[in-house]
């Protein structure tokens, strides 16, 4: 699951933003998740589909992510290893192919949509042999193997988790890290509060809300950057490195 989205107007943001995500959910959590699963089953398994019609930003996105991630990788004290990475909300493997496989020996993918994972096997081409696992699972239920991953990359998918499930997932990710491992969250950021999207059954949180949830998970932000050179009409996108 992954998506870049247009921003709403300031007036709409103020009208629809809120301080607690669950206050704006329509129905219960089961409905919230099932609506999202249904939405993604209708999305074509293409790069343009993964990016909500903004396939043209893929190169800019990958270049920004590569520069961000390479700052932490290498050998020596405090450096993050390059053994195995996890791609969360992997879709067809756009990030795995362009970002993670060039930097890590092996990669695991997890996504809620089986069709996307099936497509990933052909989309990744010859390099698919370095993918060890394709997990079909929602992140609210996914349990990373303890101490398996050097980097857990979570992009354009946290909006599909409730606040509590996001905190719990981040805690599980922390236990899935190897020594000096890193969790990276890259996602849309709202101007103020939390903005629900009834189309794909997700939310967009502002930075203050996201920071609080990261803190609840017992993680520290060691680096944060805003992605540059994206179209003005989409949300700001921030990348956070967590330990």
What would the pLDDT profile of 164-202 be if each residue is shown by its tens digit? 999 999 999 999 999 999 999 999 999 999 999 999 999
Q: Residues within the annotated binding site for S-adenosyl-L-methionine?
A: 89, 94, 111-113, 139-140, 155
Task: Take residue 232 and report the two structure tokens written for it.
Answer: 């003005």
- Region of 16 (left: φ > 0; alpha: ψ -120 to 50; beta: rest) is alpha
Q: Which residues touch 4 (CB under 8 Å, ≥6 apart)?
A: 51, 52, 54, 57, 156, 188, 230, 234, 235, 237
Q: What are phi and psi of 231, to 5 degrees?
A: -60, 145
Instruction: Express each pLDDT in 58-74 by its tens digit.
Output: 999 999 999 999 999 99
Q: How many domains does the chain have?
A: 1
CA pair distance 63, 126, nearest whole angstrom: 22
Asked whether residue 105 carries a pLDDT value surpassing 50, the answer given is: yes
CA distances from 190 to 102, 106, 109 (A): 31, 34, 27
| Helix H or strand E encompassing 210 | helix 207-216
Pairing of strands 236-242, 177-189: antiparallel
Instruction: Express each pLDDT in 133-155 by its tens digit.
Output: 999 999 999 999 999 999 999 99
Q: What is the pLDDT of residue 152?
A: 99
Domain assignment of residue 182, given as a range: 3-242
What angle do the packed helices 163-175 and 207-216 form, to 10 degrees? 50
CA pair distance 211, 9, nearest whole angstrom: 23
Domain harbouring 82, CATH code: 3.40.50.150
Q: Residues within the annotated binding site?
A: 89, 94, 111-113, 139-140, 155
Q: What is the pLDDT of residue 16?
A: 47
pTM given for the model: 0.92
CA pair distance 105, 18, nearest whole angstrom: 42
Asked whether residue 12 carries a pLDDT value surpassing 50, the answer given is: no
């Amino acid at each position: 699951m992954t998506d870049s989205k247009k921003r709403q107007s300031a007036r709409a943001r103020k009208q629809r933003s809120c301080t607690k995500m669950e206050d704006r959910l329509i129905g219960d959590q089961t409905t919230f998740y099932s609506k999202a699963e249904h939405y993604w089953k209708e999305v074509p398994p293409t790069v343009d589909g993964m990016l909500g019609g903004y396939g043209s930003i893929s190169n800019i996105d990958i270049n920004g992510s590569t520069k961000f991630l390479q700052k932490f990788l290498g050998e020596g004290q405090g450096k993050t290893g390059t053994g195995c990475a996890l791609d969360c909300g992997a879709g067809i493997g756009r990030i795995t192919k362009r970002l993670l496989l060039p930097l890590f020996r092996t990669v695991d993918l997890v996504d809620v949509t089986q069709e996307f994972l099936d497509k990933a096997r052909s989309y990744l081409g010859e390099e698919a042999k370095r993918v060890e696992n394709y997990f079909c699972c929602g992140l609210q239920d996914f349990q990373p193997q303890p101490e398996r991953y050097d980097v857990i990359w979570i992009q354009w998918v946290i909006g599909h988790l409730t606040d509590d499930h996001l905190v719990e997932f981040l805690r599980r990710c922390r236990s899935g890290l190897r020594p000096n491992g890193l969790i990276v969250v890259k996602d849309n950021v709202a101007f103020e509060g939390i903005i629900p999207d009834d189309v794909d059954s997700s939310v967009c949180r502002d930075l203050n809300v996201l920071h609080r949830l990261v803190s609840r998970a017992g993680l520290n932000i060691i680096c944060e950057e805003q992605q540059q050179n994206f179209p003005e009409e989409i949300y700001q996108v921030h990348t956070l490195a967590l330990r």
